Amino acid sequence: MKHATKIHSKLLMAAAITMILVACKSTPMKDNAAVEDKSAGTSTSGASDVTSDASDVKGAVIDGSSGDGSINELNDPNNILSKRNIYFDFNSDTIRDEFRPNIEAHAKYLQAHSNAKVTLQGNADERGTREYNLSLGQRRSVAVKTALNLLGVADSQIETVSYGEENANPACGDDGCYQADRRVEIVYPNE
Amino acid sequence: MHIIKFIAFFTIGFFSLAANAALDIEITGGGAQQTPIAVVPFGNAKSIKEDMAKIISDDLYRSGLFRPLNSSGMPNLPTNAAQINYSEWAALQAQAIVVGSISPLPDGRLNVSFQLADVFKQQPLVDMDFQLQAKHARMTAHKIADVIYEKLTGHPGAFASRIAYVKKLGERHFLYVADSDGYNPQSLVNSNEPVISPAWSPDGSKMAYVSFEKKKPIVFIHTLTTGQRKIVANYKGNNSAPAWSPDGKKLAIVLTYGANSQIYTINASGSNLQSITKSRAIDTEPAFSPDGKWIYFTSDRGGKPQIYKTSANGGGEVSRVTYEGAYNVSPRFSPDGTKLVYIRNDGGRFRVAMQDLTNGQVQLLSEGSQDESPSFSPNGRVILYATKKGTRGSLASVSFDGKVRQSLSEARGDVRESAWGPMLK
């Protein structure tokens, strides 16, 4: 009972604060000019049926699934194939030389495993709009695909996709942090 | 006695706010132009749970154009125009007064009668009745606020409309639809993968959006009242950026068949895919002009992203729309087609800009540094957009003249991807 009273007085205080805030925002009125009817007619009257609002909405709950987590050459931390991120400069889709060995290793794996499929997931940092970043992430994933193609990997083994800025870190404040978000992830969907 | 009543009124208001409103709203600006108006508690108000007078009063206040007066200390509280003692309200310095009453109908619905009167001329301006189910009391109050707004400003209101936005809470992504004041948030999608780019159908009955639930962006159309979801575009690569044609029959979408994002149109049924742009650049974020003739879009064909336009039938010339600034994206039209809002990178700050399409003049409207997803209210008077406070996203709005600003923030979660829907019928 005491507890309930405490909550109640808190609410009253919040209500009082709201009242004060509202009062502070009011400015004293200077002139007493009459309101003007600015719409077309002189007087409006009528009746109307109200039949809809936001509560008439039905939604959907969606849950996806993920892999089984077993260890193989692709996710063995000592194998270069476990290095799955290719990083990019701001607003760029140019693959930097330091990532060539990584891409070559994945090309070799895909050629040796012709049934293996890979998805290249492009990402962008959070600066700019979500749709533009989705396109930018896509261009990065295509840059990695083109590199794999040039190394002999078949188109049928590669899908490109972009997550844009959806996986970006929302707490970034410097380029070191943004850099980590500007990447293509090499994902083997069946692992 | 009056003091007790007063506190009770505000306490109830606070409770209902905590229970139903997802978004807390704070406004700034407006100032000298505000019309003092008294919205008197409706007769028989306690017969329903919603306080209609308060909803009307809050709507008018949020517009920045009205200063609702506190009528709780008044000796008489009229519930119809005939009961108004105008001199008492003139003494309170009210310029306009709103009165009303609620009564039950034989079929179980309610009749809400309201009048708006001019205090100085001492005459009613509006006299209307609404018939409704009790659950539609909030929306009816918004409709009444729209009538008052239009009568006193000369412009249609947009309170009886809805907004959509995406909230990320923990690892889950929610697409919400809420009333224009943030009340009644309903989750349309609740997913463990991202949802972006909600787009209202012109009649407000459907929402197109992009969901990553199949580990890639796919365009869905969701019918609001039934919950039915239909895949409209699930081609190889990305499927994104849906935008409805003004007649609601087609969508402009973005696909990445080859390498880069290009714009296509597709029937809302998913048939008749047609190519609109063919470039080696990124072409994305299409928007139909309200006359249906043009598609405006973002493209980096000139090196940096700018806004361009081309015929909505495809195959035509492409011409550039934005020239000021090195980065202009996300075009959205005003309902009358005379203005375009978009996002400009202004020296590292991403802000909402508005371009007058009749004379080309551009005005920067928002004051954030990571503002996105601008959209016009259905009356064209306000622009809703997503902004960032610290590391958390929230929503904000600004009047088209830059004078009135609202901040709409959620207690928890990261809010983004706002879209203002059409008026409710």
pLDDT tens string, chain B, 425 residues long: the values are: 333 333 222 222 233 333 344 556 666 665 557 899 999 999 999 999 999 999 999 999 989 899 999 998 899 999 999 999 999 999 999 999 999 999 999 999 999 999 999 999 999 999 999 999 999 999 999 999 999 999 999 999 999 999 999 999 999 999 999 999 999 999 999 999 999 999 999 999 999 999 999 988 999 999 999 999 999 999 988 999 999 999 999 999 999 976 789 999 999 999 999 999 999 999 999 999 999 999 999 999 999 999 999 999 988 899 999 999 989 999 999 999 999 999 999 888 999 999 999 999 999 999 999 999 999 999 999 999 999 888 889 999 999 999 888 888 887 889 999 999 999 98
> By the 8 A CB rule, do A158 and A118 touch?
yes
Residue B304 CB partners (closer than 8 Å, separation 6+):
B326, B327
Cβ contact, residue pair A139, B186, below 8 Å: no
Show residues of chain A in contact with B393, CB under 8 Å: 170
Of B139, B194, B343, the CB nearest to A166: B194
Q: Which of residues 123-162 of A touch B (CB under 8 A)?
A: 126-132, 134-136, 138-139, 142, 146, 159-162
**Gap from B14 CA to chain A (nearest CA, Å):** 6
Domains of chain B: 34-153 (3.40.50.10070), 162-423 (2.120.10.30)
Residue A122 forms contact with B (CB below 8 Å): no
**Gap from B335 CA to chain A (nearest CA, Å):** 19
Cα angle at B160 between B156 and B163, to 5 degrees?
Answer: 110
> By the 8 A CB rule, do B369 and B347 touch?
no
Cβ contact, residue pair B212, A163, below 8 Å: yes
Among candidate residues B80, B70, B64, the one with its CA nearest the CA of residue B116: B80
Among candidate residues B341, B239, B268, the one with its CA nearest the CA of residue A135: B239
Angle of the A100-112 helix axis to the A130-150 helix axis, nearest 10: 70
- A4, two tokens: 């309930």
Residue B368 CB partners (closer than 8 Å, separation 6+):
B349, B350, B351, B387, B388, B396
pLDDT at A14 over 60: no
Tell me B279's DSSP state.
-
**Gap from A182 CA to chain B (nearest CA, Å):** 17
CATH of A87-187, one of 3.40.50.300, 3.30.1330.60, 3.40.640.10, 1.10.287.610: 3.30.1330.60
Of B139, B177, B256, the CB nearest to A138: B256
**Gap from A39 CA to chain B (nearest CA, Å):** 5
In chain B the first and final C-alpha atoms are separated, in Å, by 42
Show residues of chain A in contact with B147, CB under 8 Å: 44
Mutation target for A interface from B230, B284, B406, B414: give the one with most A CBs within 10 A: B284
Closest chain B residue to A139, measured at CA: B260
Cβ contact, residue pair B186, A54, below 8 Å: yes
Among candidate residues B404, B372, B345, B349, the one with its CA nearest the CA of residue B165: B372
Residue A1 forms contact with B (CB below 8 Å): no
pLDDT at A45 over 60: no
At B10, phi and psi to the nearest 5? -70, -35
Distance in angstroms (rounded) separating the CA atoms of residues B251 and B240: 11
Cβ contact, residue pair B196, A62, below 8 Å: no
Burial letters A35-71, b for 16+ CB under 10 A, else e = bebebeeeebeeeeebebbbbbbebbebeeeeeeeee
Burial letters B102-140, b for 16+ CB under 10 A, else e = beeeeeebbebbbbbbbbeeeebbbbbebbbeeebbbbb
Distance in angstroms (rounded) separating the CA atoms of residues B392 and B394: 7
pLDDT value at residue B64: 87
Distance in angstroms (rounded) separating the CA atoms of residues B282 and B277: 10
> By the 8 A CB rule, do B72 and B131 touch?
no
Residue A189 forms contact with B (CB below 8 Å): yes
3-state SS of B176-244? EEEECCCECCEEEEEECCCEEEEEECCCCCEEEEEECCCCCCEEEEEECCCCCEEEEECCCCCEEEEEE
Binning chain B into helix, strand and coil, the percentages to the nearest 5 are 15, 45, 40
Tell me B85's DSSP state.
-
Closest chain B residue to A20, measured at CA: B10
The reported pTM is 0.84
> Domain map of chain A by residue range?
87-187
**Gap from B382 CA to chain A (nearest CA, Å):** 19
Q: For chain A, give me the number of helices (H) and strands (E)? A: 4, 6
Of A12, A50, A132, the CB nearest to B298: A132
Of B226, B327, B343, the CB nearest to A58: B226
**Gap from B153 CA to chain A (nearest CA, Å):** 6
Residue A60 forms contact with B (CB below 8 Å): yes
